[in-house]
Each structure stands twice: as C-alpha cells, then as structure tokens.
C-alpha cells in the first residue's frame, strides 16, 4: 500500500476536525433553533468548517513530506498549526465584525496554552493513529 501516500495523509488529517465540527454544528444548531438562543455565530461557523479540516489535511501532508528532514514528532508538528489558524480566525472575526473579538485579548493568556496542549495531544494520539491505520506513519 505504497500508492498515494499524500492523499492518504490528507484524508487522515481531515478526519478529526471534520468529526469535531459536525458535533459542534449539531450542538450549535440545537442550541440556536430549539432553545432560541440569539447568538449569530452562523456567520463565523461556516468558514472554519470549510477551511480548518483542509488545513489539517495539508498540515499532515506537510508532516509526511518533511518528517525525514525535520524529525519533529507529530505532536510538536500539530502544535504548530494554531500559529496559522489563530491569525486566520482573528482576521475572519474582524472582517465579519463578530462581537466576540473584544473578549479574545482577555482569554488569550489562558486559551493559547490550552490550545497548544490540545493540538499536541490530538495530533500525537488521533492523527498519529489514523496515519498508522492508513500505513503512512
């Protein structure tokens, strides 16, 4: 099974955020339309649902392609991804004038380390497991 290594790496990378966003979207839509909570998050939710899984897939392809040269562990490689996603998220919220932006500066000192740890663990265990299942690790 040596064919299409990068395609398999891309597919292994997109699984985790796709499942996560399906759960988040289900909870949000139940919260929004069943319980009538007036939060206009749908303006911001669609873009990450399209971009984040694709970036995860491409990031996993980059890991497979560069692992021989860099020798980074998959957890460390995955923990670097928030440094790309966070500025894109901030740019999106500013562009859409989403009201949560003023709170971001206050929660950043707590959220940033938690995000890095979470990404490290998800990449170390979930994405690494999926790479192993697809025989690319």
| Helices 42-70, 82-95: crossing angle, 10 deg rounding | 160
* Residue range of the domain that includes 112: 5-133
Pick from 75, 71, 46, 45: nearest CA to 59: 75
Inter-residue contact 60 to 10 (CB < 8 Å): yes
Residue tagged 């796709």 (tokens): 18
Long-range contacts made by residues 93-101, C-beta under 8 angstroms, separation at least 24? 93/44, 96/43, 96/44, 98/40, 98/43, 98/44
Range of lowest pLDDT (21-30, 35-44, 55-64, 114-123): 35-44
User: Could you read off the pLDDT of 109-123 as tens digits, one per residue?
Assistant: 888 899 999 999 999
Q: How many CB atoms lie within 10 A of CB 105?
A: 8
Mean pLDDT of 85-106: 75
Please state the domain count of the chain.
1
């Amino acid at each position: 099974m040596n064919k299409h290594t990068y395609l398999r790496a891309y597919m292994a990378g997109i699984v985790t955020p796709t499942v996560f966003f399906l759960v988040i979207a289900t909870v949000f839509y139940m919260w929004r339309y069943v319980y009538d909570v007036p939060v206009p998050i749908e303006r911001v939710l669609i873009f990450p649902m399209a971009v984040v899984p694709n970036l995860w897939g491409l990031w996993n392809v980059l890991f497979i392609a560069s692992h021989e040269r860099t020798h980074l562990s998959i957890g460390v490689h995955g923990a670097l991804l928030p440094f790309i996603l966070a500025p894109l998220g901030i740019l999106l919220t500013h562009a859409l004038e989403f009201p949560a932006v003023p709170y971001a500066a206050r929660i950043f000192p707590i959220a940033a380390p938690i995000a890095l740890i979470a990404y490290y663990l998800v990449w170390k265990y979930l994405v690494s497991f999926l790479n192993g299942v697809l025989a690319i690790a």
